[in-house]
Chain A
Amino acid sequence: MTTLLNILWLGLKEIRSLASDLVMIMFVIYAFTMAIYVQATGTSSEVNNASIAFVDEDGSALSKELFNAFYPPRFQVPEAITASEVEDAMDKGRFIFVVAIPNRFESDLRAGRHPDIQVNIDATAMQQAGIGANYIKNIINQRIATFLKRTDEMVREPVNLVVRMLFNPNGESAWFKSVVAIINQVTLLTIVLCGAAVIREREHGTLEHLLVMPLTAFEIAIAKVWANGLVILIATGASLFLIVQMALKVPFNGSVILWFVGVVLYLFFTTALGIFLGTSSRSMAQFALLIILVVVVLQLLSGGSTPVESQPQWLQYITFFLPSRHFVSFSQVIIYRGGGIRAVWPNFLMVGAIGLGFFVYSLVLFRKSIAVTK
């Protein structure tokens, strides 16, 4: 009972301290509103405004038709260049795609031959090249067919593959990115808040003050966990409703409560990590440098920027122990795919287990470190 009360009072103090730190509050608000909106709507992984040029050696009606088949927003209005310019323009990075239509293209086609069309692709533009090349192929095939058959009817193949995009039918990248952005901010901000709370207390000497009171290290640490965790939880909730659901209109297919249960489990881990980093760094400056390294690893390998399946197998075994990976995974399941507890319990279990393990470890370290505070 006294322990619970201590944790309550210490936690309230923690929130008060945070409330008086205007810069931090502004940072939290910015991170969960503006920053998420910008990240979600910023760069798109869709092919958008792709730069394209044509080398038209045919000069026929068909080649002009093809030239006109590319237009914004997906592609820029194509530029006409000569064959000799291709190499240089690609080297300079002026275009991602250059389509070369050979001489006598239309007449060869009409004669039933299968003339070549060359599509030069800058294969260092990874996100656009593959998908964009496919669009180009489809557009060209379609245009040739309709042009020659003088009909706008779709040409049917012997077997027609009908693709149904589930969970995000229009492939809007803002849906995915907004949620990943929240996840990244949760990771970053909780670590910053919790670690800073530990360091601030140590640098201001208030930690010593607490330690001579009848309080245990456990009470001091858990108070920081709940207080900072709560702040982030509220910020996350607000961000989800205001930014993701209202401003970006991302539908939430699964159970909101279930997702928040998951967030709480994850917060347990990040707060523990914050305490760990706050304890192991000697000053705020070192803490800041450490955070950059840790957060980049947690965010990049979580599957939020590239799917976990694309990581090398050996790396997947390692990232299996990253709670951020499971957070991204269960968020996708709940938010887009509308999955229930049956689909996410392994993730929950993993996040909870690692969180608990880390928390115990950080606590031991925290206790040790305060035993030898100079």
Chain B
Amino acid sequence: MLPPASQSASTPVVSIKDVTHRYRSVVALDGISLDIPSGRMVGIIGPDGVGKSTLMSLIAGSKKMQQGKVIVLDGDIADARHRGTVCPKIAYMPQGLGKNLYLELSVYENVDFMARLFGLSATERPIRVKELLDATGLGPFPERPAGKLSGGMKQKVGLCGALVHEPDLLILDEPTTGVDPLSRRQFWTLIDDIRKGRPSMSVVISTAYMDEAQQWDWIVAMDAGRVLATGTPAELMERTGTKDLEKCFIALLPEEKRSGHKELTIPPRTAAKSEIAIDAKGLTRRFGSFTAVDHVSLSIERGEIFGFLGSNGCGKSTTMKMLTGLLPPTEGTATLFGQSVEAGSLEVRKNLGYMTQAFSLYGELTVRQNLVLDARLYHIPSEKAKARIKELVEKFGLGPYLDSLASDLPLGMRQRLSLAVAVLHEPEMLILDEPTSGVDPVARDSFWELLIDLSRRQGVTIFVTTHFMNEGMRCDRISLMNAGKVLACDVPQKLIDERGAASLEDAFIGYMEDAIAGASPNGESKDKAATSTPSAGQSAAPPTPLEHRAGRFSLGRMLAYTANETMQIRRDPIRLAFAFIGSLLLMLVFGFGITTDVEHIRYASFDLDQSPESRTYLEQFAGSNRYFTETTPVYSADEALMRLQSNDVALVIEVPPDFGRDFCRGSKPDVSAQVDGANPFRGETVAQYAQGVNDTMLRDPASGLYTGPNKYTASIQERYMYNPTFESIYSIVPSIPALLLVLIPAILMAVSVVREKELGSIINFYVTPTGKMEYLLGKQIPYIVIGMINFFILALMARVVFGVPIKGSFLTLTLCTLLYLAATTGIGMMTSTFTSSQVAAVFVTAIITIVPTIQFSGLLQPVSTLEGNARIFGLIWPTTYYMHSSVGAYTKGLGPALMIPDIIFLSCCIPIFWAVSFAGLRKQEK
């Protein structure tokens, strides 16, 4: 490793010592030591996966330090107290377009949210936010949801959020990846303007576009978790004797990585055949009102390498999908080799190799399995397939990886595998969607060697998209695309010459500006004018120092999260539907679906006696309509069994021969009741009803079979308390809210936290002064409110749909519900601390809440009958107590006094759940 070539006179803003960071067995940072000078624009350059992002997030304090020491702004960033004091001085924008934005929230709301987290007052905020939006050219659309912005605009919103509190250290992780050249240039102008306003601010930026870093003050070149070199760009280029940073970077790479790399040369295309391979006319694709691709016409010759340049979201991929037949065009036609590409045409696809933007092979299969699968699906005869795979493996250098899982391959190798798979069936046409994004320059060059070989030697037509300008230069012809339109299409050098530009990028920007000038003045067209405003980033009155506001519990920050969460869920139809329609639907299903009432039992009589007495006996069953429904009698034992088997009847009453005679003689005959016992509860109930009919008949003087009172019998008075008609609806309906109000709020709460982990916006919690309690409580409040609304809806349904009113104290039950919801959302909070994907959060929370609620809380089996562990669990599970209150208030008519123990228990649960969640929630990424 080379020592830092030029050391700044002032103390470094960041000082890194022996930092090593691992993800399981993968080493991301390998003993890095580095001093970053302050007040400079510092670039960290290197391809994907070399540890840039890890390093940035360690500096920002968003990731937990494993080994080594990082001093940021004169303090150890691993020290939580130091982080608390300096985090208002640091701004961090993570990698990924709009990664830390809330996509449902508008531009203004996003920036305002960050301002609230940094404790700006209600009067400061609108001024500051407006200032930033105007400076970044976002002023005209504060209401637009972040999810509907282009990549460049998202990055600007992110930048506004980062600058809202006037940081001393600005950390930007690949802010321009995937952004179109014009927006990119505007972004850098913006940063320059801001730095002019705050010269003391240090900026640390990472990028995979080496050419961008050319103008920066100081460069750190990284590879494989190590620092290759540091210094000013001029120094580095001089040292390596190269003319641009990309070549310089390659020269800095260790010997073994560079071996085999040579300057890429492209043999000129022999324009012998001029057969048209792709012919697209007026291709247009609309998604709703949004036009993704707007009248694109192309004509590509066989064997040509045709490049498609543009930013993310400009319509490149959509165009490709229309050409491959994946997506039917709204208007226009496309033909491949004269054949029309209609979605589903299998013939065309056999001639086509396609490599999608993201790695789209099966990561869980090995390299060989992936190749074999595709060979089979293309029906290449197995002998031929073997030979072909062998050939490709050799040519693409996949040999050493043949039996490793595709997901374990290094990025460059994965791209080669994708290409191998795409050309396996020897297609005449290859369509490649950003095949080299993120790949290091050496691997990129060798990938291009393969492409050139395919084109020049095998006559394969290649259609490739990229956002690397130097890759565009390698194509025979390119077309520049922006906002769904092709701006220009020609040989790259010609395009440059035509505009008299210095480079392809300048030419592209020129075309874009022309297009914007020609279009109506709306949308992003205002960006340019706005960004040149010199006042960018300089606020008239600097906000009050913010340090003192960190550390203590702040109601403002908590409410900021509450407001944020409320807005998000209100704009998410699926979660909203789950919250309200879900409980409505489940209430109906449970209410009507669970019942222990056994009524209208279908039975058949089997009368072997046919005497007046036997008929009288059987009539008694027919007489009790609520319980028994008579069906046609059976006449043989076989028939009886058959009908019981097929579930036609649940009971067969068999009166034996001579029943009448025996009865009259007083010799007490037997009658047999065959009961379907497949469902034991039902079978037992049926048997009891039958017994009941039998007993009543014998004691009823009017029945015709009365034989006088029995001596020595007590009269047993059964008193069905609380529910005199003994209909299960009065017991089930009040139990359902207890179940639903744990299930739904807990799941929603867990998802709300885990969703942030999954989407990345949790970084806002890591790098702002937000405390754990502020975060948790702020997020909990909306779900308690949702739960309360649900409670009222369910109470209304119980009354109106099921006719089960609340007999007891409604007010006390409402209080109980409030506490219960605080506890159940607390359960969701706890599960969110140890689950990392939304799916896991949903299932784990569902299982954790449903199982004990059904088994141990008294829903089906009263807690008083539980034994052992089940009993203990029943006694500590909050639902048990709410169940008691709910059934008590609805059906038993209990007053407030009897709910007090429930209230006390539930109140005790809440702080416990908070404490557990507090302990489990991390303030830094692991």
Q: Which of B318, B349, B593, B698 has the most CB of A within 10 A?
A: B593
State A296–B591 Cα separation when bound (angstroms): 13
A82 at the binding interface (Cβ < 8 Å)? no
A285 touches B720 (CB 8 A): no
Q: Which positions 655-702 of chain B face chain A at CB distance < 8 Å?
A: 663, 666, 668-685, 687-688, 690-692, 694-695, 697-698
A161 touches B671 (CB 8 A): yes
Q: Which of B578, B666, B713, B732 has the most CB of A within 10 A?
A: B713
Per-residue B-contact encoding for A330-354, CB less than 8 Å = 1, 0 else: 0011001111001110000000000
A5 at the binding interface (Cβ < 8 Å)? yes
Given contacts A158-B668, A214-B378, contact A144 B712 (CB under 8 A): yes
Given contacts A126-B731, A206-B360, A333-B647, contact A173 B861 (CB under 8 A): no
State A296–B587 Cα separation when bound (angstroms): 11
Q: Which positions 1-20 of chain A face chain B at CB distance < 8 Å?
A: 2, 5-6, 9-10, 13, 16-17, 20
Shortest CB-to-CB span from B824 to chain A, Å, is: 15
State A158–B669 Cα separation when bound (angstroms): 7
B751 touches A285 (CB 8 A): yes
The segment out of A89-97, A259-267, A270-278, A357-365 that lies at the interface is A89-97
A114 touches B714 (CB 8 A): yes
B843 touches A288 (CB 8 A): yes
- Contact among A128, A305, A343 for B646, CB-based, below 8 A: A343
B726 touches A130 (CB 8 A): yes
- Contact among B596, B731, B865 for A51, CB-based, below 8 A: B865
A93 touches B863 (CB 8 A): yes
Shortest CB-to-CB span from B407 to chain A, Å, is: 9
State A46–B617 Cα separation when bound (angstroms): 30
B716 at the binding interface (Cβ < 8 Å)? yes
B354 touches A309 (CB 8 A): no
B352 touches A167 (CB 8 A): no
A61 at the binding interface (Cβ < 8 Å)? no
Given contacts A96-B865, A126-B731, A284-B838, contact A166 B677 (CB under 8 A): yes
Residues of B within 8 A of A129 (CB): 720, 726
Shortest CB-to-CB span from B832 to chain A, Å, is: 13
State A121–B682 Cα separation when bound (angstroms): 20
Shortest CB-to-CB span from A240 to chain B, Å, is: 16
Per-residue A-contact encoding for B226-246, CB less than 8 Å = 1, 0 else: 000000000000000000000
B502 at the binding interface (Cβ < 8 Å)? no
Per-residue A-contact encoding for B356-387, CB less than 8 Å = 1, 0 else: 11111111110001000110111100000000
Residues of B within 8 A of A176 (CB): 678-680
Q: Which of A6, A20, A149, A307 has the most CB of B within 10 A?
A: A307
A5 touches B365 (CB 8 A): no
A293 touches B362 (CB 8 A): no
Per-residue A-contact encoding for B711-722, CB less than 8 Å = 1, 0 else: 111111111111
Measured CB to CB, the nearest residue on chain B to A106 is B714
A5 touches B694 (CB 8 A): no
- Contact among A105, A296, A309 for B600, CB-based, below 8 A: A309
B456 at the binding interface (Cβ < 8 Å)? no
A372 touches B860 (CB 8 A): no
A42 at the binding interface (Cβ < 8 Å)? yes
State A312–B892 Cα separation when bound (angstroms): 25
B858 at the binding interface (Cβ < 8 Å)? yes
A310 touches B597 (CB 8 A): yes
A158 touches B663 (CB 8 A): yes
B846 at the binding interface (Cβ < 8 Å)? yes
The segment out of B15-23, B324-332, B774-782, B791-799 that lies at the interface is B324-332
A57 at the binding interface (Cβ < 8 Å)? no
Per-residue B-contact encoding for A293-337, CB less than 8 Å = 1, 0 else: 100110011000111011110010000000000000100110011
A-side interface residues, number (CB < 8 Å)? 128
Residues of A within 8 A of B894 (CB): 91
The segment out of B39-47, B522-530, B563-571, B883-891 that lies at the interface is B883-891
Shortest CB-to-CB span from A202 to chain B, Å, is: 10
B121 at the binding interface (Cβ < 8 Å)? no
A212 touches B326 (CB 8 A): yes
State A21–B889 Cα separation when bound (angstroms): 47
State A285–B892 Cα separation when bound (angstroms): 40
A213 at the binding interface (Cβ < 8 Å)? yes
Shortest CB-to-CB span from A207 to chain B, Å, is: 8
Measured CB to CB, the nearest residue on chain B to A48 is B865
Shortest CB-to-CB span from A227 to chain B, Å, is: 13
A163 touches B668 (CB 8 A): no
Q: Which of B575, B599, B677, B720 has the most CB of A within 10 A?
A: B677
State A338–B327 Cα separation when bound (angstroms): 53
State A289–B347 Cα separation when bound (angstroms): 40
B646 touches A371 (CB 8 A): no
B644 at the binding interface (Cβ < 8 Å)? yes
B364 touches A20 (CB 8 A): yes
Shortest CB-to-CB span from B525 to chain A, Å, is: 25
A124 touches B594 (CB 8 A): no
Residues of A within 8 A of B843 (CB): 288
B730 at the binding interface (Cβ < 8 Å)? yes
A161 touches B690 (CB 8 A): yes
Measured CB to CB, the nearest residue on chain B to A121 is B720
- Contact among B364, B644, B688, B867 for A49, CB-based, below 8 A: B867
B855 touches A343 (CB 8 A): no
B717 touches A205 (CB 8 A): no
A116 at the binding interface (Cβ < 8 Å)? yes
A68 at the binding interface (Cβ < 8 Å)? no
A315 touches B717 (CB 8 A): no
Measured CB to CB, the nearest residue on chain B to A2 is B379
B189 at the binding interface (Cβ < 8 Å)? no
A122 touches B722 (CB 8 A): yes
Given contacts A118-B717, A204-B363, A339-B645, contact A211 B675 (CB under 8 A): no
Shortest CB-to-CB span from A308 to chain B, Å, is: 9
B9 at the binding interface (Cβ < 8 Å)? no
Residues of A within 8 A of B898 (CB): 91-92
Measured CB to CB, the nearest residue on chain B to A19 is B364
Residues of B within 8 A of A145 (CB): 712-713
State A149–B710 Cα separation when bound (angstroms): 13
B876 at the binding interface (Cβ < 8 Å)? no
Q: Which positions 98-151 of chain A face chain B at CB distance < 8 Å?
A: 105, 109-110, 112, 114-131, 133-134, 136-137, 140-141, 144-145, 148-149
B719 touches A9 (CB 8 A): no
A51 touches B864 (CB 8 A): yes
Given contacts A212-B324, A212-B352, A333-B645, contact A171 B865 (CB under 8 A): no
State A5–B692 Cα separation when bound (angstroms): 64
A337 touches B860 (CB 8 A): no
B600 touches A205 (CB 8 A): no
B377 touches A161 (CB 8 A): no
Which residues of B line the A interface, CB within 8 A?
287, 318, 321, 324-328, 343-344, 346-347, 349-350, 352, 354, 356-365, 369, 373-374, 376-379, 405, 421, 574-575, 578, 582, 585-586, 589-590, 592-602, 617, 642, 644-647, 650, 663, 666, 668-685, 687-688, 690-692, 694-695, 697-698, 705, 707, 709, 711-724, 726, 728, 730-732, 743, 747, 751, 755, 758, 837-839, 842-843, 846, 854-855, 858, 860-867, 884, 887-888, 891-892, 894, 898
Known: A206-B362, A285-B839, A342-B646. 6 other contacts (CB 8 A): A93-B863, A96-B864, A123-B721, A212-B326, A292-B743, A332-B678
A-B contact pairs, 23 of them (CB 8 A): A16-B362, A17-B364, A43-B855, A91-B898, A93-B884, A110-B712, A114-B713, A121-B721, A128-B862, A137-B718, A140-B716, A171-B684, A204-B358, A205-B360, A208-B326, A208-B360, A310-B599, A337-B678, A339-B646, A344-B646, A372-B287, A374-B287, A374-B318
Which residues of A line the B interface, CB within 8 A?
2, 5-6, 9-10, 13, 16-17, 20-21, 42-46, 48-51, 76, 90-96, 105, 109-110, 112, 114-131, 133-134, 136-137, 140-141, 144-145, 148-149, 156-169, 171-173, 175-176, 204-206, 208-216, 281-289, 292-293, 296-297, 300-301, 305-307, 309-312, 315, 329, 332-333, 336-339, 342-344, 370-374
4 tightest A-B contacts by CB? A285-B838, A205-B360, A123-B723, A288-B842
